[in-house]
Amino acid sequence: MGITYKSYEDGCRIIFKLDTPNTTYMFQTVDSDGFLLHIYYGRRLRLTDIDDLSRIYQHPFLPSENERERASFMDCAPFEYPGHGLGDYRDDAFAVLNENGHSVTSFSYSNHRIYKGKPRLEGMPATFGTEEECETVEIIGTDIVNGLEITLFYTVFNDVDAIAKSVNIRNTGKFENIKLTKVLSSCVEFYGDEYDTIFLHGSWARERIIDRKPLGYGRHCVSSLRGESSHQEHPFIGLVSRNADEDSGDVYGFNFVYSGNFIAQAEKSQFDIVRVLMGINPVDFCWNLRKGKEFQAPEVICVYSAEGIGQMSRTFHDLYRKHLIRSKYKDLERPILINNWEATYFNFDTEKLISIAEQASKLGIEMLVMDDGWFGHRNDDSSSLGDWTVNEDKIKGGLKYLVEEINKRGMKFGIWMEPEMISPDSDLYRAHPDWAIQIPDRKAVMSRAQYVLDLSRRDVIDYTFGQISKILKSANIEYLKWDMNRQLTDVGSFLLGKEEQGEVFHRYCLGVYELQERLITEFPDILLENCSGGGARFDPGMLYYSPQIWTSDDQDPIERIKIQQGTALIYPLSSMGAHVCDCPNHSTGRTTPFETRGYVALAGTFGYELDVTAISEKNKKMIPAQVSMYHRYNSIVRDGDYYRVASFLENHEWDCWETVTKDKSEALITIVNVMARVNYKARLVKLKGLDPLKNYSLRYFDMNTGEEEENELILPGDALMYAGINLTGNYFGDYKARLLYIKAI
């Protein structure tokens, strides 16, 4: 495990080998120009001596001795950090505009440093690990013509098959200022196989739907220019061998630890080399790097799995649970919350909230979350963002009184805020119109009747933090839902000069990070849930600050099985905000059994979003059973290994997933029979991740009693996995679901 390297006598060639428990990543320097070329990424190689390394060195793409033909080498070499404009016509990783007006860049190896542990990325989210848990190599390169020093960071983890990469660029002083027009965080090159790409696409209420397709020639890119990672496309790219499936085949996953504009791109070029790039979107990006200053690009996580897509997901889950999410709640059962948004929308007051809490508490629900509409004069979405004062016409008696009343009923209290926003109809906007992100003389584009605060400004950051802090200190508030309901347009800052306008997008993102860092530092016990019009900012950047993120505004369990499958492709189930909703569902109009809504929400953080005073007695009676289900099984969902057994997205009929404890002693299997199939007798389901040598007892959970059913079946792990089990059940009617609990005996 760890990082090794071998220098050759010619002084030009150094081979680096980066090992995680089951993967190896290799690159080398070649030629007196100090090119840094990729060699290999895949299964762990047990190379130990120089001969092995030399054989690997028989690389198909090396520069010839002959300077005459540099250009053709440049256009096929697998660069670790490709520059711009020197004959490599594929997409590049970095570009500049220097004081002479030139954009050409190059990277030449000059030095390296290897050490235990991993440095923090100042002001930005990043994975972390102790000196025992990880090791880092910094490859330092130069672009002498531009006076730049470029450092590539690679950290390997000893307990997870993941590599974290990032890039730092420093202006060493040849130019007073150099404009960075593109600084990506990772480039990895692949050759010798046919690949498919996996992207996660979506829309509002339809986030992160898996989209797999064969990779053809040319550039295949997903991106965001919305100032957030977005509903529409996701900072993730999967590159998988054509025959890879859930359980076998080569699978590479790249995920960007950033919450703003990004690109994720695979480009297959003339020699079938595939270049995978990831980083900040260069469009509308222009960073002034003054003499002596550094620019730090965010981090990319690279994961390789030789055992299919499922193993890639489990690696990401482990990495994020151990090395990214910091909240003390990440390993704890979260309080079961009830949120009033879909119950009341803007139409609520103290009395209504207390009546919900009164009922909810009797049923075993543990926290009331007051959503949008409690501040300023906000009775719909047209006003008051920025005016974070309690509307005492609605919250009669004030916030402190309300929270005390909720606490008296044995429930915790949580609150909704949208700190990054400003309504044109707000005292804040009337006082500080220049605090909104806008362009002078251009009519600002509104979205949901609101503008975005200019968080590239120190005064706005400080003011906003003061507002959040004041509210959180005013009562016993134990949870904050931090929302962000519009994307950025008219991107301009009134404070920054004309040279700096190309920095606004990134500075905005850093402003959000600073606010959240201050929040969790000053209020370490607050349970923070990020949200953006549902799941538009469900990304690893936000997970660094909050252990959970609202997955989607669509809470229909049938839509959710697709959304949650796509989300769980990368993110641990413990981070997915999921609630039991009302029916007919507010997004789809679909009516589904209350049991099914419970089973699907169990695969996330679990909570409720309905008017518990208005639902049927039958459903209300089921809530204590669901509460008991959550308490029984949450630790398996939260800390266990996730396996996808069947996908409704693919088979259009049924869905099945499984979570297994790390010691393989317990497992939960959820089966959703979305579309009933008439006269269908046997569905053999092959379970996954069990111990073949153990015997397991199998019992269904009974949503009427809140207990497991009496009937017990005992079967060996190998039979359950290799022969499968008949889970036909009684599936008369659509949308039926069951939960099977199995335990080693």
What amino acid positions are annotated as catalytic residues? 483, 553
CB of 478: closest distance to ligand GLA in angstroms?
18
CB of 14: closest distance to ligand GLA in angstroms?
50
- Residues 471-490 touching ligand GLA, rule: CB under 6 A, are 483, 485
Give the nearer residue to ligand GLA in terms of CB position, either 135 or 483. 483
Q: How far is Cα 356 from Cα 580, in angstroms, rounded to an integer?
A: 15
Give the nearer residue to ligand GLA in terms of CB position, either 188 or 356. 356
Q: Does 541 interact with ligand GLA (rule: CB under 6 A)?
A: no
Q: Does 534 interact with ligand GLA (rule: CB under 6 A)?
A: yes
CB of 313: closest distance to ligand GLA in angstroms?
25
CB of 369: closest distance to ligand GLA in angstroms?
9
CB of 345: closest distance to ligand GLA in angstroms?
8
Give the nearer residue to ligand GLA in terms of CB position, either 538 or 654. 538
Q: Does 533 interact with ligand GLA (rule: CB under 6 A)?
A: yes
Q: Give the residue among 193, 186, 190 at the shortest CA–CA distance from 274.
A: 190
Task: Tell me the CA distances in angstroms from 672 to 347, 600, 648, one per residue in order.
Answer: 34, 9, 9
Give the nearer residue to ligand GLA in terms of CB position, either 126 or 369. 369
Contact 81, 277 (CB under 8 A): no
Helix boundaries (H) for 40-137: 50-56, 70-74
- Residues 261-300 touching ligand GLA, rule: CB under 6 A, are none
- Residues 646-685 touching ligand GLA, rule: CB under 6 A, are none
- Which of 341, 413, 479, 544 binds ligand GLA (CB under 6 A)? It is 341
CB of 511: closest distance to ligand GLA in angstroms?
21
CB of 425: closest distance to ligand GLA in angstroms?
16
CB of 531: closest distance to ligand GLA in angstroms?
5
Neighbours of 24 (CB within 10 A): 19
Q: Which stretch binds ligand GLA (CB under 6 A): 62-70, 511-519, 531-539, 589-597?
A: 531-539
Give the nearer residue to ligand GLA in terms of CB position, either 334 or 664. 334
- Which of 416, 429, 633, 731 binds ligand GLA (CB under 6 A)? It is 416
Q: Which two tokens stand for residue 311?
A: 């193993």
Q: Give the residue among 730, 657, 741, 655 at the shortest CA–CA distance from 701.
A: 741
Residue type, 659: T
CB of 225: closest distance to ligand GLA in angstroms?
21
Q: Does 553 interact with ligand GLA (rule: CB under 6 A)?
A: yes
Give the nearer residue to ligand GLA in terms of CB position, either 371 or 503. 371
CB of 485: closest distance to ligand GLA in angstroms?
5
Contact 224, 233 (CB under 8 A): yes
Give the nearer residue to ligand GLA in terms of CB position, either 266 or 365. 365
Q: Are strands 367-370 and 337-339 parallel, antiparallel or unpaired?
A: parallel
**Structural Rg of the chain based on CA atoms:** 27
Give the nearer residue to ligand GLA in terms of CB position, either 16 or 608. 608
Task: Tell me the CA distances in angstroms from 671 to 117, 600, 667, one per residue in order.
Answer: 42, 10, 13
Number of residues that bind ligand GLA (CB under 6 A): 11
Q: Does 207 interact with ligand GLA (rule: CB under 6 A)?
A: no
Give Cα 413 to chain centroid, integer Å: 27
Number of residues assigned to the chain: 745
Give the nearer residue to ligand GLA in terms of CB position, either 140 or 449. 449
Q: Which stretch binds ligand GLA (CB under 6 A): 382-390, 530-538, 686-694, 705-713?
A: 530-538
Residue 421, beta-bridge partner list: 452
Q: How far is Cα 649 from Cα 211, in angstroms, rounded to an integer?
A: 10
Give the DSSP letter string of 239-301.
EEETT--SSSB-EEEEEEE-SSSEEEEEEE-TTS-EEEEEEE--TT--EEEETT-EEE--EEE
Contact 420, 450 (CB under 8 A): no
Handedness of CA 479, 425, 378, 389 (dihedral sign): positive
Give the nearer residue to ligand GLA in terms of CB position, either 534 or 640. 534
Residue 2, beta-bridge partner list: 19
Task: Tell me the CA distances in angstroms from 461 to 445, 457, 493, 680, one per residue in order.
Answer: 22, 6, 14, 60
Query: What contacts 495, CB < 8 A, 6 or more positions away?
Result: 434, 454, 456, 457
Q: Which stretch binds ligand GLA (CB under 6 A): 179-187, 287-295, 516-524, 529-537?
A: 529-537
Q: Does 372 interact with ligand GLA (rule: CB under 6 A)?
A: yes
Angle at 688 between CA 687 and CA 689, to 5 degrees: 140
CB of 414: closest distance to ligand GLA in angstroms?
12
Q: How far apart are the first and last CA of the chain?
A: 36
Q: Which stretch binds ligand GLA (CB under 6 A): 162-170, 212-220, 257-265, 526-534?
A: 526-534
SS3 547: coil
Q: Does 531 interact with ligand GLA (rule: CB under 6 A)?
A: yes
Q: Which two tokens stand for residue 110?
A: 């000059």
Q: Does 310 interact with ligand GLA (rule: CB under 6 A)?
A: no
The one-character DSSP state at 718 is: H
Q: How far is Cα 578 from Cα 557, in angstroms, rounded to an integer?
A: 10
Q: Which two tokens stand for residue 650?
A: 């693919």
Give the nearer residue to ligand GLA in terms of CB position, either 485 or 493. 485
- Residues 55-84 touching ligand GLA, rule: CB under 6 A, are none
Contact 453, 484 (CB under 8 A): no
- Which of 189, 233, 371, 420 binds ligand GLA (CB under 6 A)? It is 371
Q: Which two tokens stand for residue 610?
A: 């309905």
Q: Which stretch binds ligand GLA (CB under 6 A): 527-535, 590-598, 669-677, 717-725?
A: 527-535
Q: Which residue is nearest to ligand GLA (CB)?
A: 372
Residue 439, beta-bridge partner list: none
CB of 388: closest distance to ligand GLA in angstroms?
15
Q: Which two tokens stand for residue 47?
A: 């190379």
CB of 340: closest distance to ligand GLA in angstroms?
10
Q: Does 641 interact with ligand GLA (rule: CB under 6 A)?
A: no
Contact 231, 535 (CB under 8 A): yes
Give the nearer residue to ligand GLA in terms of CB position, either 269 or 575. 575
Q: Are strands 607-609 and 337-339 parallel, antiparallel or unpaired?
A: parallel
Residue with the two structure tokens 């791109």: 265
Neighbours of 442 (CB within 10 A): 9
Q: Does 559 interact with ligand GLA (rule: CB under 6 A)?
A: no
Q: How far is Cα 161 from Cα 155, in angstroms, rounded to an integer?
A: 11
Q: How crowded is the C-beta side of 637, counted as CA atoms within 13 Å? A: 29
Q: Which two tokens stand for residue 194?
A: 């046919």
Q: How far is Cα 344 from Cα 178, in angstroms, rounded to an integer?
A: 53
Give the nearer residue to ligand GLA in terms of CB position, either 35 or 341. 341
Binding region for ligand GLA (CB under 6 A) = 341, 371-372, 416, 483, 485, 531, 533-534, 550, 553
